[in-house]
Structure 1
Amino acid sequence: MKNKFLLILTVLFSVLFVACKQEESQPNIVVILCDDLGYGDLSTFGHPIIETPNLDQMAEEGMKFTNCYSAAPVCSPSRAGLLTGRSPNKAGIYDFIPSPKRSEDCRDLVHLQAKEQTIPAMLKTAGYATCLSGKWHCSSRFNSDAQPTPGYFGFDHWFATHNNAAPSHENPMNFIRNGEKVGELNGFSCQIVANEAIQWLTNKKDDKPFYLQVCFHEPHEPVASPKDLVDKYMPQVENENQAQYFANVTNMDKAVGQLMQFLKEKHGENTLVFFSSDNGPETLNRYYRASRSYGSPGELKGMKLWTNEAGFHVPGILYWLGKSTFHGTSDAIVSSLDLLPTFAELSGAELPNRKLDGESITSLIKTGEKKRVKPLIWAFYDAINEHRVAMRVDDWKIMCRLKVDTAYLGHVHNLCEGNESLVKNAEMVDFELFDMKNDRGETKNVAQQFPEVFGKMKVQFESEYAGLLKESHIWKRELK
């Protein structure tokens, strides 16, 4: 009888041990990032026409974040912030990175520097295999020995373009795979990118957990979409260009569905998927190639390149295959900056030895509860709107203009020796305060209505911005 009891205990403890080990096992991690997708562009986030059934299903079965933020209101700094968990200003990436044409403000030098520590590099130390498929846009000299490639930052396999798919999403010809030109590819970019990710996973022979970063070009210009999807939307839209945009988002959703189906079938036991956008929607006809930019900010103010909400308030969806998480819609404040510390906690990887601006949202994922400690601050000196600096804390957002002597600071693309003192000596003025819980559209400045809140926020804002300026990277051209 005693032996039988001991046997039962042994079996019970064995079962519990295995269960605990499974619970502690490292998850596969997938980040899906769109390009210029607006907060209001998905059906699940309120678009009245665009159909996105796969993302709708992800949001329904997982977590939908209604207060999700990108690290910047434009692509390159947003991507750098996601990869490093720090404000992109600290990495010296202030605006989108153009081609390497020499300029007075050293913009041609800008790139993600070798000293930066990234998600894939961190996860590799914890035993992960890593892959990037899609847009990179974190260097001015792409696929060159002059600047680090994606492989340097921890990606075992990378299949990427410098910036946009060219000449358009259809039959792109500018992809590079692990340093080698691929040539023209048939099909649409989102399916090509998803197929590469699936192929990498299929060819992966080891049992390592994986980190997969899928960066779609859609729906960034130049927009090109399948004819059948365009024809489907034509009866519901103003013109063919709008139908092209709507079809572009739906085509991206189809690629997400393709990838998710594969993950469910092959890696459905423990794979965390996070979906978002690098910034808000492009403004229609802002430049000559933006004739199909019919993206929607939803209820938010502004567009891409704005420090008002629509610039960096983006759709966010998290779905953890095979695991029980908080289910439903969350209004907790989350940021792409939070991904690195979250993935460190979930994987057991050691955090980089530097101050991070993001914070782990593991408790939010598991319980639906999380009190944010760190404020979110953005300093985008090339903003279309006049308030170049903004900060979000709890239900409040504060913004300001920057003034130099008697004039407001002009548009600045990059911080360098030539303009460092100008930017750092600019005074924070014309503060505005918004109640984001009751006024997501930023229609009313409530600084006078809530003087105590405003006073406290202003002091914190000035302190946080001073700290950000102190750590911002200044580019210097070496004399030869």
Structure 2
Amino acid sequence: MSITTATTRRTVLRGMAATGLVAAAGTTAANAGTGPVRARPRADLPNVVFLSIDDLGWDELGSYGNTFNETPNIDRLAAEGLQFDNAYAAAPLCSPTRAALVTGLYPVRTGITDFLRQEPAASNKYLSPGIPTVPGVLGPRGYVSGLVGKWHLTETYSGAYDQRPGNPFAHGFDEVLVSEQQYIADGDYFHPYFFMPELPAREPGEHLTDRLTTEAVEFITRHRDDPFFLHLSNYAVHTTLHGKPELVAKYAAKPGADQAPNRPQLAAMLECVDDQVGRIAATLEELGLAENTLFLVTSDNGGPYRDANRPLRGGKGELYEGGIRVPLVAHWPGTVAAGRRTAQLTSTIDVLPTALALAGGRPGAEFDGVSLAPVLTDTGEVDRGPMFLVYPHFIGATHPHAAVRHGQFKLVQYLRDGRSELYHLVQDPGETTDLSRPHPAKARQLRALLEAHIAEVDLFPPTPSETAYPTLELDERFDADLSHWTMLPVPTGGPVGTVGVADGQLSVSAEELTHVVLRSEVAPGSDEVALVLDTGAFAEAGTQDTVFVGVAKDADNYLLFRYHNGHKRVGFDLRSKGRLVTAGQEPHGNLDGTVDLTGPGARYAFVLRGHVATAYADQGSGWEFLFTADTGGVLDLGDPTVRAHYRYATSVRLDDGTITLDGVTARRRG
């Protein structure tokens, strides 16, 4: 697949290449699932307006039962259209859900499974233009594609906007308006906006949601004679909550304003979004487009406030229902019958296949999502089979986990130890009663489906074994001298303590703070290797009894997984040009106190695949997944020219006593 970029003839707000209406890009992406594209009359090509609300919980709307927030316009759309009771975000956080929206794929297939960090995040992730997205799928059918608002699918926030990796123009969006120039962080809702410093206000005291509304109305008006797909991507109601003062005062004066889960600031911001929905609907009516436009309103993930999500369990960042169940309203006069509610299971991944089907295409296996056209038109149901969700990260109190929903049942599985929970969501939507024991056959069935999916999407590299990594590259038992190892004090010139070998062990002793890296002579033979450290004894004194395993170039450049025995704490150190790179690191504090590498047979593994390294630990009963470290933005070990400068390494840091290591083994695949 190739991507070409071209400037359109239409340029509005000249010079605002990142925030106003800007130059467009075209794609030569293959037309997914359609075969040859045949021209259809304009009247046969419905428009799609997909309006997303950031961090909106499943029951914050009046039509879903909320009695504090006021959302009359969205409620009217629900009354005149279709409301989904089993709608899911594709992920419990924003970036992966956004990737799923524009691709129709599970987030794991896009490489984006967590929210994207700001530059200089070590990972440097972005949505690859090599993956077909909305413009590449609908563009060949004559559609204009627009993005108004939040993108959040790149970690690069410097340089020309349309040259940043993964920017929406690289994916072929024709128009991009009021999209972030700088990292969004916790939001900014009144002009001037810190993440769009070059964007001029269009009216005094401008509120961001109102600005998005104006831009969306103008986009629709400009393209009233073209079929279009518009993603109106709100920044609200993401924290930090900052509503219009008069609306905040209105809600603060309402009965129950000071009682959870009511939040006057959120209600004020949501009312602005609801006004936006009303203006969009009115514009479609005034232009005679309402009966030819599918208007969808939803959220990118569950709400962050657990009390507001009840009776659902959990919230944003979790694969329990509170983190992924979202509102979804579909409005399309003359096509979607009024006053309907459906229990049809649906997900963000269904939006693009649905749009393609409505445009005359035949979405197939190239998508994970399915077309909801039969549900919208009330001509049938969709048998989608199992629906999968994967969140292999730490955030807040969350540990890496995955889930599958199939029919009325849902299984949640933790990725470290395989522990799983089974719930009947019709009888127990709050996921309060684990049915794994009373229904073992159902638990086994769903566990098999989920584990097959995890294997199929190749979520993690294989655990260390001779079968998975048959080629031996390093086998150090410390039964000879250390002539094949180089001792590198950190920092350079610092103490190295007393290092030696005896009785098949490496020993490092020190009476002051000492950090020494031992670099072997062996470079990783490919970008798929497993390096295993057999731990020995730890220092009984001091506070810095830490061992490391990974790769090193020198004392100023290395990637090492660490284990601190005193705190039973794991993590990684990425040092580049003498500087420890910590920006964008995923927090691993949830693992503190849960890993003990002092017992018989304890091992710690650094498993490399491309620019991602995965940590596994064996506490004596088999390998367990711990965490991943994506360092591609700083150290891309998938690049053979980079990898050639690095060698397998181990390391010790202590300030008193002696640490011993029993051995280091490296193997590669193929």
TM-score category, normalised to shorter length: 0.7 to 0.9
**What corresponds to 1:89 in structure 2?**
108
**Residue from 380, 404, 420 that aligns with 1:431:** 420
SS in 1 for 2:332: strand
Amino acid at match of 1:304: K
**Structure with the largest fraction of strand:** 2
**What corresponds to 2:312 in structure 1?**
300
Q: Which shows bigger deviation, 467-476 or 267-276?
A: 467-476
SS in 1 for 2:152: coil
SS in 2 for 1:125: helix
**What corresponds to 2:439 in structure 1?**
450
Residue 37 of structure 1, CA deviation: 0.3
Kept in 1, the 8 Å contact 2:110–2:128? The answer is yes
1:117 and 2:132 are equivalent in the alignment: yes
**Residue from 199, 214, 233 that aligns with 1:182:** 199
Q: Which shows bigger deviation, 295-304 or 89-98?
A: 295-304
Change (3 A) 1:325 1:48: closer
**Residue from 227, 231, 234 that aligns with 1:213:** 231
Amino acid at match of 1:244: Q
Change (3 A) 1:452 1:275: same
Within 2, Cα distance between the matches of 1:324 and 1:468?
Answer: 35
Kept in 2, the 8 Å contact 1:344–1:350? The answer is yes
**Residue from 402, 418, 423 that aligns with 2:415:** 402
**What corresponds to 2:244 in structure 1?**
226
**What corresponds to 2:28 in structure 1?**
none
SS in 2 for 1:279: coil
Kept in 2, the 8 Å contact 1:32–1:275? The answer is yes
Kept in 1, the 8 Å contact 2:336–2:378? The answer is no
Amino acid at match of 1:86: L
**What corresponds to 1:135 in structure 2?**
150
Within 1, Cα distance between the matches of 2:400 and 2:321?
Answer: 12
Change (3 A) 1:278 1:167: closer
**What corresponds to 2:298 in structure 1?**
276
Q: Any unmatched runs of 5+ in structure 1?
A: 1-20, 285-294, 409-428
TM-score (norm 1): 0.81
Kept in 1, the 8 Å contact 2:188–2:194? The answer is no
Q: Percent identity?
A: 28
Kept in 1, the 8 Å contact 2:162–2:169? The answer is no
Kept in 2, the 8 Å contact 1:62–1:328? The answer is yes
Q: Which shows bigger deviation, 182-191 or 360-369?
A: 182-191
Within 2, Cα distance between the matches of 1:166 and 1:24?
Answer: 42
Change (3 A) 1:230 1:146: closer
Residue 229 of structure 1, CA deviation: 1.2
Change (3 A) 1:202 1:151: same
CA RMSD of aligned residues (A): 2.7
Residue 144 of structure 1, CA deviation: 5.4
SS in 2 for 1:31: strand
Alignment of 1:415-426 (within 5 A): none
Residue 81 of structure 1, CA deviation: 0.7
Q: Which shows bigger deviation, 301-310 or 113-122?
A: 113-122
Q: Which has the larger radius of gyration?
A: 2
Kept in 2, the 8 Å contact 1:326–1:367? The answer is no
Residue 327 of structure 1, CA deviation: 4.4
Amino acid at match of 2:302: G
Per-residue deviation, residues 323-361 of structure 1 (Å, max 9, x unmatched) = 244741111100110111111110024658x63211111
Amino acid at match of 1:401: Y
**What corresponds to 1:424 in structure 2?**
none
SS in 2 for 1:398: strand
Within 2, Cα distance between the matches of 1:373 and 1:350?
Answer: 15
**Residue from 83, 97, 107 that aligns with 1:64:** 83
Kept in 2, the 8 Å contact 1:166–1:173? The answer is no
Per-residue deviation, residues 183-212 of structure 1 (Å, max 9, x unmatched) = 4564211111111011122233x7221111
Change (3 A) 1:401 1:80: same
Residue 24 of structure 1, CA deviation: 7.5
Within 1, Cα distance between the matches of 2:610 and 2:79?
Answer: 44
**What corresponds to 1:367 in structure 2?**
378
**Structure with the largest fraction of helix:** 1
Within 2, Cα distance between the matches of 1:151 and 1:441?
Answer: 41
SS in 2 for 1:71: coil
**What corresponds to 1:254 in structure 2?**
275
Q: Which shows bigger deviation, 68-77 or 165-174?
A: 165-174
Kept in 2, the 8 Å contact 1:111–1:140? The answer is yes
Q: Any unmatched runs of 5+ in structure 2?
A: 1-39, 462-608, 612-631, 643-670
Change (3 A) 1:268 1:148: same
Q: Which shows bigger deviation, 36-45 or 458-467?
A: 458-467
SS in 1 for 2:220: helix
Amino acid at match of 2:213: A
Q: Which shows bigger deviation, 163-172 or 116-125?
A: 163-172
Within 2, Cα distance between the matches of 1:188 and 1:48?
Answer: 25
Within 1, Cα distance between the matches of 2:107 and 2:610?
Answer: 12
**Residue from 317, 320, 337 that aligns with 2:332:** 320
SS in 2 for 1:54: helix
SS in 1 for 2:309: coil
Kept in 1, the 8 Å contact 2:42–2:226? The answer is no
**What corresponds to 1:389 in structure 2?**
402
Q: Which shows bigger deviation, 80-89 or 379-388?
A: 379-388
Residue 470 of structure 1, CA deviation: 5.4
TM-score (norm 2): 0.58
Within 2, Cα distance between the matches of 1:359 and 1:444?
Answer: 31
Change (3 A) 1:351 1:363: closer
Q: Which shows bigger deviation, 262-271 or 364-373?
A: 364-373
**What corresponds to 1:311 in structure 2?**
323
Residue 452 of structure 1, CA deviation: 2.6
1:39 and 2:58 are equivalent in the alignment: yes
SS in 2 for 1:29: strand
**What corresponds to 1:48 in structure 2?**
67
Within 1, Cα distance between the matches of 2:104 and 2:610?
Answer: 19
SS in 1 for 2:308: coil
Amino acid at match of 1:394: G
